[in-house]
């Protein structure tokens, strides 16, 4: 098997038909041996029946495994362990791949002897974005958008790396750094504060870059996918929650010693929070709430970081 396309899903069987049909419409893959592996992350809906029906209807190899342990990284790891292909790639159930997507990924791996490859992630054009999300901006990136232009280049795995909606790996990466950290990443549907965690792929690429400084991670612009954003993700509360949780999670697992603390929080965070709040208030007055919202997200990140250090300190006592 050359390629396994791993689709991790939880209680979103309504997305699977269009997701898998787009995969079935791939072109230029006639010489590839590839499969689609749906990882059912303990869904309570009709996911097994939908996958079974699609496996009969579609002209591609589709199979399904069940991962009872809740969490996106548990599902990702299950998909990796349940496959034996040379390359594996992850597709969310709300992603629609373009017709040349898989062929472009395989070409990028073969041409560059790549450890990992990522492509463009565009937002589904049928989705109406709120006024505080500018198309193509950094804020759109928090909805999964990623586009580095028309040229292939080598990414460093630290400042630039593929996003989770369009990332692929050579199996040798697992031999070198292991699987995804199951403490990180989204749990459940990602609608509640305790479920909505990002950064799992960031951690994985950082680990790869640290373990192998000469790692070969490439951006392939021809590998395009489209993310159909869920409606609950288009509210400011969603953006603020992922930023608060990102700060909380980072601080919770930070093992560095800080001798100067107040209320369990490193002292340097207090002036940083004050400056961030000052910038937000200034932007709010001069540019309005839509333009100031990105800075409010930064304030939320600092608050989450402080909460994470406090929580870790209480757990250590």
Asked whether residue 246 is assigned to any structural domain, the reply reads no
Is residue 207 domain-shared with residue 275, that is, in the same domain? no
Question: Taking the chain (317 residues) in consecutive chunks of 10 residues, what is each chunk's mean pLDDT?
Answer: 96 95 96 97 95 97 95 95 96 95 98 97 91 86 93 95 95 95 74 61 92 93 94 91 89 86 92 96 95 94 94 67
Asked whether residue 242 is assigned to any structural domain, the reply reads no
| Phi, psi of 122, deg, nearest 5 | -105, 150
Is residue 198 domain-shared with residue 273, that is, in the same domain? no
Is residue 172 domain-shared with residue 70, that is, in the same domain? yes
Overall domain count for the chain: 2
Is residue 108 domain-shared with residue 208, that is, in the same domain? yes
Closest CA to 199 of 310, 106, 72, 49: 72
How many angstroms separate the first and last alpha carbons of the chain?
Answer: 51
Is residue 147 domain-shared with residue 265, that is, in the same domain? no
**What is residue 185's three-state secondary structure?**
coil
Is residue 93 domain-shared with residue 218, that is, in the same domain? yes
Is residue 76 domain-shared with residue 194, that is, in the same domain? yes
* pLDDT value at residue 314: 72
Closest CA to 246 of 178, 182, 306: 306
Range(s) of the domain holding residue 201: 3-234
Asked whether residue 216 is assigned to any structural domain, the reply reads yes
Is residue 290 domain-shared with residue 144, that is, in the same domain? no
* pLDDT value at residue 236: 94
Is residue 181 domain-shared with residue 303, that is, in the same domain? no
Is residue 229 domain-shared with residue 261, that is, in the same domain? no
DSSP designation for 217: E
HSE at residue 127, side-chain half, CA atoms within 13 A, is: 22
Cα(76)–Cα(222) distance, integer angstroms: 24
Asked whether residue 89 is assigned to any structural domain, the reply reads yes
Cα(200)–Cα(119) distance, integer angstroms: 18
| Phi, psi of 31, deg, nearest 5 | -95, 0
Is residue 217 domain-shared with residue 122, that is, in the same domain? yes
* pLDDT value at residue 312: 84
Asked whether residue 96 is assigned to any structural domain, the reply reads yes
* pLDDT value at residue 317: 39
Asked whether residue 248 is assigned to any structural domain, the reply reads no
DSSP string for residues in 184-209: SS--TTS-STTT----HHHHHHHHHH
The packing angle between helices 200-211 and 72-81, to 10°, is 50
Q: What is the CATH number of the domain that holds 23?
A: 3.90.550.10
Q: Residues 23, 107: contact at Cβ < 8 Å?
A: no
Asked whether residue 244 is assigned to any structural domain, the reply reads no
Asked whether residue 166 is assigned to any structural domain, the reply reads yes
Is residue 229 domain-shared with residue 285, that is, in the same domain? no
Out of 201, 234, 267, pick the residue that ends a domain: 234
Q: With residue 8 as reference, give the H or E element that holds it.
A: strand 3-9
């Amino acid at each position: 098997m050359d390629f396994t396309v791993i689709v991790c899903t939880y209680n979103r069987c309504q997305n699977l038909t269009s997701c898998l049909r787009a995969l079935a419409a791939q072109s230029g893959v006639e010489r590839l041996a590839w499969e689609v592996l749906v990882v059912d992350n303990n869904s309570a809906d009709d996911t097994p029946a939908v996958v079974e029906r699609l496996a009969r209807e579609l002209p591609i190899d589709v199979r399904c495994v069940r991962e009872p342990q809740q969490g996106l990284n548990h599902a990702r790891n299950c998909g990796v362990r349940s496959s034996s292909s040379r390359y594996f790639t992850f597709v969310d159930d709300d992603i629609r791949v373009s017709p040349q997507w898989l062929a472009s990924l395989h070409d990028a791996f073969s041409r560059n002897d790549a450890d990992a490859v990522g492509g463009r992630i565009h937002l589904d054009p049928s989705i109406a974005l709120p006024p505080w999300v500018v198309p193509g901006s950094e804020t759109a990136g928090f909805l999964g958008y990623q586009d580095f232009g028309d040229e292939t280049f080598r990414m460093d795995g630290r400042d630039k790396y593929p996003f989770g909606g369009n990332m692929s790996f050579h199996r040798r990466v697992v031999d070198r750094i292991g699987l995804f950290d199951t403490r990180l990443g989204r749990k459940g549907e990602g609608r509640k504060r305790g479920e909505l965690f990002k950064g799992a792929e960031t951690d994985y690429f950082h680990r790869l870059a640290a373990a192998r400084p000469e790692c070969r991670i490439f951006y392939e612009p021809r590998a395009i996918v489209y993310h159909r954003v869920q409606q609950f993700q288009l509210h400011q509360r969603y953006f603020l929650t992922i930023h608060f949780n990102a700060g909380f999670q980072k601080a919770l697992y930070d093992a560095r010693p800080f001798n100067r603390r107040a209320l369990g929080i490193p002292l340097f965070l207090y002036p940083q929070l004050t400056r961030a709040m000052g910038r937000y208030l200034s932007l709010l007055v001069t540019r309005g709430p839509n333009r100031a919202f990105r800075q409010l997200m930064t304030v939320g990140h600092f608050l989450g970081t402080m909460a994470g250090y406090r929580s870790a300190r209480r757990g250590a006592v």
